[in-house]
Amino acid sequence: MTEGSAISATVTERIVAEFTRVAMRELSPGLHIVATPIGNLGDITLRALSVLAAADIIYCEDTRHSRTLISHFSLGSKLAAYHEHNAERERPRIVERLDAGERIALISDAGTPLISDPGYKLVRDVIAAGHAVYALPGACAAVAAMTVAGLPTDSFMFAGFLPAKSGQRQSRLKELIAVPATLVFYEAPTRIAEAIADMANVLGDRQCAITRELTKLHEEVMRGSLQELASALAGTTLRGEIAIVVAPPIAMAASDEDITSALAVALEAASTRDAVRLVAERLGAAKTRVYDLAMTLKREGPLQREDN
C-alpha cells in the first residue's frame, strides 16, 4: 500500500483471502438474484462477484449496460437479456435451463432486481417449477435513501414510482395519506418539482429528504418540510437519480385532544361526515377513531385537559 492509503496491506490480504474462500464454494444450481451497485462499483459484494463469475448465464435488463460491470471485473460470463419486452418468451426458457441443472444469475441495470425492476414473475415461475432461488443482497436505492434521510425507519412503505400525470399522482398519494409509516418513492429528475408540490398538497407538511445520486460523485441530500422543498424546487429540475423519503403522518403522534380540537373547527363549517373525513385525512388518523371522537364531542363537548 502507498503512504496515506486508507487501508493497510493486511486488510487487502484479508479481503482477497475472504473472496478466495467465497469463490471456492461450488455454485448451486438454481436462480441467483444478485444485487449490483447503484453507482459506486466499490459497492459490489464478494458473493456477487463470485456468483457472476461462476454462473452459466447472467440475465440482465440491457446487455450493453451490464457489459460495463462485467468487463470492469473481468467476469467474462455470458450475458442474456431479460426485460419487459421479452420476459413472457424468455421465462419458460430460463425454467428449462434450470430443469437442465444450470446456475443462473439475474441482475438489473443497478441495485436489487425486482425492486422497481424486472424479476418478480420469473421468481414466481421458478418457485412453481420447484427450483431454488437464492438472494445475494446488496445495494438498493430505497434502503440507501432511508439510511441518510434522518427519518423514522421502524416502519416504512416502498411506494416505487408515482404516476407521471398529476391527476393520477394525486389520486395515488391520497391512497397513501393514512399509511402509518415512512414512505419511500423513486422519481424522475424532470418531475421532481411537481411531485414534491403534489406531496405537499396531498400529504400535508411532513418532513422529507430528497436523495440524489447516492454513492456517486455528486451525491446530495436535501432535507426539509415538503412545503419548504416544494418552494425551493418550484420551476426547477434536478439532474441524476432521485429517491424521496417522506415522514409518517403527523397523526401517528396526534392525541385525542389534537383530533378533537381539529374536529371542533371542522364541524363549524362542515357536516359530521365531511369533518371526520377531512380531519382523518389531514392528521392521517383512522376514520373510525375520528368518528368516535366526533360523537363524543357532540355528546359531551370539548375534552377537558387534566391539570397535573
- Site residues for ligand SAM per CB under 6 A: 38-39, 108, 110-112, 115-117, 140-142, 186-187, 211-216, 241-243
Of 142 and 197, CB closest to ligand SAM:
142
- β partners of residue 33: 106, 135
Report the amino acid identity of residue 147: T
- Minimum CB distance to ligand SAM smaller for 110 or for 279: 110
What does the chain come to in residues? 308
Using Cβ positions, the residue closest to ligand SAM within the complex turns out to be 111
List beta partners, residue 58.
79, 105
CB of 238 to ligand SAM, least distance (A): 11
Name, in order, each residue with C-beta under 8 angstroms of 62's C-beta and a sequence gap of 6 or more.
81, 83, 109
Closer by beta carbon to ligand SAM, 149 or else 263:
149
At its nearest, how many Å lie between ligand SAM and the CB of residue 275? 38
Query: Minimum distance from CB of 102 to ligand SAM (Å)?
Result: 24
Q: At what angle do helices 87-99 and 120-128 cross, to 10 degrees?
A: 40
Closest distance of CB 117 from ligand SAM, Å: 4
- Angle at the Cα of 178 (from 177 to 180), degrees rounded to 5? 120
Could you give the count of Cα atoms lying within 13 Å of 94 in the half-sphere of its Cβ?
A: 34
Q: Nearer Cβ to ligand SAM, position 18 or 220?
A: 220
Per residue in 8-34, is it b (16+ CB within 10 Å) or e — as a string?
eeeeeeeeeeeeeeeeeeebebebbbb
Residue number, 193 or 267, with CB nearest to ligand SAM: 193
CA 35/CA 45 separation, integer angstroms? 8
Cβ–Cβ under 8 Å, residues 34 and 107: yes
C-alpha 248 chain-centroid distance: 15
The minimum distance between CB 288 and ligand SAM, in angstroms, equals 36
Instruction: Report the distance separating Cα 207 and Cα 212, nearest Å.
Output: 17
Nearer residue to ligand SAM within complex by CB, 82 or 291:
82
CB of 123 to ligand SAM, least distance (A): 14
Output the smallest distance, CB 71 to ligand SAM, in A: 20
Nearer to ligand SAM, 50 or 108 (CB): 108
